[in-house]
Structure 1
Amino acid sequence: MVKHIVLWKHGDNFSETEKQEHAKIIKESLEALVHKIPGVISIKVITNPLPSGSGDADLILDSTFESIDALNTYQEHPEHIKAATYVRSVVKDRKCIDYWE
């Protein structure tokens, strides 16, 4: 299996209410992809990490795929591109790591 982990910070120019609404939309749109794209084992979006004081991430995508090919299919799938386009419009400081589990 392949893990795909992404961390984001909320964009700077949004109110707390807007950030909460963006987080809800991101969670719903990305988690729905598990049923739409072959090779996806799981997708979970964490929108409420514990406050650590370091502020490294506000949102976390924790996803698992059958293979690297499945991850590539996911990344190129039109439904993922649609969700990712929205995500990019409301976040900043994307960090990502992929690894074999």
Structure 2
Amino acid sequence: MFDHLYGCSELVVNSRNIGKVCTDPNIRYNPGIRMYFDAHKIILDGFAVRDGAHIIKIKDKMRITDYIVYMYDETNVDLPKGMDFWTPSLFTDEANKSFLKVYGK
């Protein structure tokens, strides 16, 4: 299941990290990898399905390396000045800013 650019995927990752559902976007967070995909190519290549709840789901399986546009983790996204830890919302915002500087139009 894929989310949109400003979605809550970091909350899902953080919930898994702490072992329970956590919907607090401002809790301390150790980021994993935030991946950005070419959704248009996924759709054109016939891998996308829609269920009415998610932006895109993948039918069966696909090779993700063929569709990744870029990946961010805490080594290539700068923690904003004045902050000494990541939160799900902060990491989402900063990774999106980095992505949109290069790929946004």
TM-score, length basis structure 1: 0.29
Q: Max radius of gyration: which structure?
A: 2
Higher helix share: 1
TM-score, length basis structure 2: 0.28
